[in-house]
Amino acid sequence: MSEPSSQLIDLALQGGGSHGAFTWGVLDRLLEEPRLHIEAISGTSAGAMNGAVMVAAHAAGGAAAARTALEDFWRRVSQAAAFSPLQRSPMDRLLGRWSLDRSPAYLAFDFMARVFSPYDFPLGALNPLAKVLAESVDFARLATAPIKLFITATNVRTGRPRVFRNAEMSPDVLLASACLPTMFQAVEIDGEAYWDGGYSGNPTMTPLIEECVSDDTIIVGINPVERPGIPKTARDILNRLNEVSFNAVLLKELRMMALLRRVASAAAADAGVAHWSQMRVHLIRSEMMVELDSSSKLNAEWAFLCLLRDEGRRVADAFLAAHGTDLGKRSTLDIDRSLDGK
C-alpha cells in the first residue's frame, strides 16, 4: 500500500491558562505525522506560547526539536509555579481533584481580584512567565522561521485585535496575548497597551485565510462552546461568561466562512471570497475540558500538566484515526450549523 500524500495544514490554538497543556499534547501527536506539513499557526494566550515555542524550535531542528521544546517549556512553567501560594488544598489532593476552589490562597486571590486592581500594587503582579519565555523561545530564529505565526492581543484603547507576525515577536507580545486585566497590568508595545487576545480573537482565523494557501485549518479547542445546565454560583456564572466572550469572535468568523461558502458560486470570480468559502475546518477537543473548573487553569502541577498532555495526545490520535483521510478533502466540523441558529 502506498504512503498517504503529504498534506498542508494550519493550526488555530485557543488559550486557557494551564489548560494549554492539552494543546501541547495535541501538537506532540501531530508532529509525529510526517505527512502533515504546518504552514501557519494562529494562537492566543497559552495557544500563542505553544505556537511560539513550537515554531522557533521546529525552525532549528524539525519536529523532534519542537516536541522536546514544548516539553521543556511546560516543565519550566511547572517549576516556576512550584513556589506559588496557589496550590490545591490537602483535601483536594487526597480526593484527586485538580481544582483550586478550596485553596485558601486562591479564595483570597479571587476576592482581591474583585476589589483591587493590579495598578494598586507597586510591582503590578509581575508575570512569572516572562523568565520562562526568555528561556524557552529563540526570538531571533522565530523572526525568520518558515512556519508563519500569528499572535493576537487586544488593544485596550480601541478594543480591536492586533495580530503580531514572526518578525514582531518578543516576550512582551506573548505576555500581552495572555494578559488577564484582573491579574496583570496591561503590556505596552509601541506606545499602546494590550490585554489578553482572547477578548478579540481566540484565536483569530482571518490571517490563516488571507495570508496562507492551506485550505485545511485544525482548531484546537480549550474553552467549551457548549456547557450543559445553567450556572448558578457566582464563580460558575463568571466562568461561563468568560467562555462565551472568549469564543464569540471565533464563532463569528466561522459563521462568516459558512456564509461565504453558501454564496461562493455567485462570487466565484472573487479569489479572496473563493478561498474563504473553500476552507475546510476541523476541530480537536475533549469533554475533559468541560469537566474541569476555571480555577484549575491556574494549577500548573506537573502531574496535572501531564494529564492534560496525555488527553491531548489521545484525542489527536482519535482525530487522525477517524478523520486523517478527510484532510485535504472535506470539513469535519459542521460550521453551517451556525447559519441555522443551532
**Sequential DSSP letters for 231-243:** --SHHHHHHHHHH
Residue among 130, 86, 124 nearest 298 (CA): 86
pLDDT at 2: 41
Instruction: Measure the CA–CA gap between 6 and 39, rounded to whole angstroms.
Output: 12
Q: Given a cut of 70, is residue 138 above it in pLDDT? A: yes
Mean of the pLDDT values across residues 181-198? 93
Peptide bond into 118 cis (omega under 30): no
**With pLDDT > 70 as the criterion, what percentage of the chain qualifies?**
90
pLDDT in tens, 232-287: 877 778 778 777 877 777 777 777 777 766 665 555 545 555 555 678 899 999 99
**Sequential DSSP letters for 269-311:** T-HHHHHHHH-EEEEE--THHHHS-GGGGG---HHHHHHHHHH
Q: Given a cut of 80, is residue 110 above it in pLDDT? A: no
Mean of the pLDDT values across residues 313-340? 87
Q: Given a cut of 50, is residue 97 above it in pLDDT? A: yes
Which range has the worst mean pLDDT, 172-176, 228-232, 272-276, 294-298? 272-276
What value does the mean pLDDT of the chain take?
87
